[in-house]
A = this chain, B = another copy of it.
Amino acid sequence: MSFARLQEHIDKLQNPTVVGLDPALSHIPDEMLEKYYKEYGETLEAASLAVTEFNIGLIDALCDIVPAVKPQSAYYEALGPFGAFSLQKTCEYAKKKGMYVILDGKRNDIGSTAAAYSAAYLGVTIVKSKEYLPYEADALTVNAYLGSDGIKPFIENAVKYDKAIFALVKTSNPSAGELQDRLMGYGDGPSFPVASQARLNRTDEPSPCPEPSPCLVSLYCAVGDLMEEIAKDTIDKYGYTCVGAVVGATYPEEAEFLRKRLKNTFFLVPGYGAQGGSAADAAKSFDSNKKGAIVNSSRAIIAAWKKGGSDYKTAAREEVLKMREELRKVLKY
């Protein structure tokens, strides 16, 4: 249930990594692109077919040593509807090869619409008497800004179909802290009159200022708390709920704090490698049993061939083995 399948696959391969399939066209070898341009012209269709072939090659080269892939939806959407076919085929092929598929879409909306996103990636769409899987993923990244009613439709399908989600908690980018590090009232939070506004919080009466330190938490911590709370009935045999958290390797102090606080939350760790996070930084997201997290690397692996010397599959495999060794070393596997 939940993340158990992923944890077991990680354990089997002794490799807590996920390869990000972010196929910017500049990451694809020219001869692969040219082959399709020759047949279909310089079109989005040709580019999408090249992306599919590129991904299939990477999956073939990595599926015996990497437990999971993470297609980044944006790069497929930038290719228009043909890109959607490429995304669908990429997910399908990775599943066929036994990989766990984390679709990185950071979706979010009000309940009724979140249910449609949930059907698209974790559930089924019903067409009269038939059921279809629009895109076949095991997990989806989501954004929790709308609160629990925008998350619950994903939890429902996660429970029903043995899937999972990762909510953005502390992201890996430089401006992550602008909102996420801001400190706020703990729990339901106190309510204050703000400037000329009579009441900002409609349900609580204004109350006095809280004690400073222990009652204030950062926004990212509040999001993490809320996610663990609403998913608490879905804890699996390894102790994790079906709602994971995205926690950037670029913020190791925060990761250490969150790892201690969110005992039932599985972490997806971006920011390793190209974005600047080290293996030691990424290790902060693992629990004392070396479980409960998976580390992503995208560009550094899929575009490793650009450094020269190897074809793209060999270069990616070499880079994955290097990353695996670095993580095994700091985690003392």
Name A's B-contacting residues (CB within 8 A): 22, 24-25, 33, 37, 42-44, 46-47, 72, 74-75, 77-81, 83-85, 87-88, 104, 106-111, 113-114, 116-117, 119-121, 125-130, 132, 134-135, 143-150, 168, 171-185, 189-203, 208-209, 211-214, 216-219, 221-223, 226, 251, 253-254, 257, 260, 270, 275
- A30, chain B: closest CB distance, angstroms: 10
What residues on B are CB-neighbors of A183 within 8 Å? 184-185, 189-192, 194, 200-201
Partner of A194 from the list B78, B85, B213 (CB cut-off 8 Å) is B213
**A80-B135, A125-B78, A184-B184 known; A148-B117 Cβ under 8 A:** no
**Alpha-carbon distance between A180 and B222 when the two chains are bound, in angstroms:** 11
Interfacial chain B residues near A109, Cβ < 8 Å: 72, 74, 104, 106
A150 contact from B117, B175, B196, B251, Cβ within 8 A = B175
Given A78-B117, A84-B80: A175 and B194 interface contact (C-beta under 8 Å):
no
A25 near B116 (CB under 8 angstroms)? no
Q: Is the CB of B184 within 8 A of A212?
A: no
- With beta carbons under 8 angstroms apart, the residue of B171, B209, B253 that contacts A209 is B209
CB distance from A133 to the nearest CB of B (A): 8
Q: Which 4 A-B pairs have the closest CB atoms?
A: A147-B175, A147-B178, A209-B212, A80-B134
Residue in B44, B84, B143, B270 whose CB lies within 8 Å of A106? B143
* B residues near A79, Cβ cutoff 8 Å: 125, 134
The residue of chain B having its C-beta at the shortest distance from the C-beta of A126 within the complex is: B25
Chain B residues, Cβ within 8 Å of A127: 25, 37, 42-44, 46-47
Instruction: Give which listed residue, B146, B184, B195, contacts A173 with CB less than 8 A.
Output: B146
* Cα–Cα distance between A173 and B149 once the two chains are bound (Å): 8
Q: Are B200 and A214 in contact (CB under 8 A)?
A: no
Show 8 A/B contacts (Cβ-Cβ < 8 Å), sorted by A: A44-B125, A46-B127, A108-B168, A147-B178, A149-B174, A182-B184, A192-B216, A197-B253
| Cross-chain contact A219 with B184 (CB below 8 angstroms) | yes
Kindly list chain B residues whose C-beta atoms are within 8 Å of the C-beta of A219: 179, 182, 184, 219
Docked-complex contact B176 and A146, CB < 8 angstroms: yes
If A25-B127, A106-B109 touch, whether A179 touches B120 (CB-CB below 8 Å) is: no
- Alpha-carbon gap, A201 to B217, bound state (A): 10
Interface hub of A37, A85, A106 (most chain B Cβ within 10 A): A106
Q: A135 to B190: give the CA distance in the assembly, Å.
A: 44
Given the known interface contacts A79-B125, A117-B74, A120-B78, the answer about A194 and B218 at a Cβ–Cβ threshold of 8 Å is yes
Could you say which of B130, B143, B177, B257 contacts A108, with CB atoms under 8 Å apart? B143
Kindly list chain B residues whose C-beta atoms are within 8 Å of the C-beta of A223: 179
Residues of chain B within 8 A of A173, CB atoms compared:
110-111, 146-147, 149-150
Write the chain B residue with the least CB distance to A150: B173
Closest-CB distance, A161 to chain B (whole angstroms): 15
- What chain B residues lie within 8 Å of A189 (beta carbons)? 181-183
Contact B43 A130 (CB under 8 A): yes
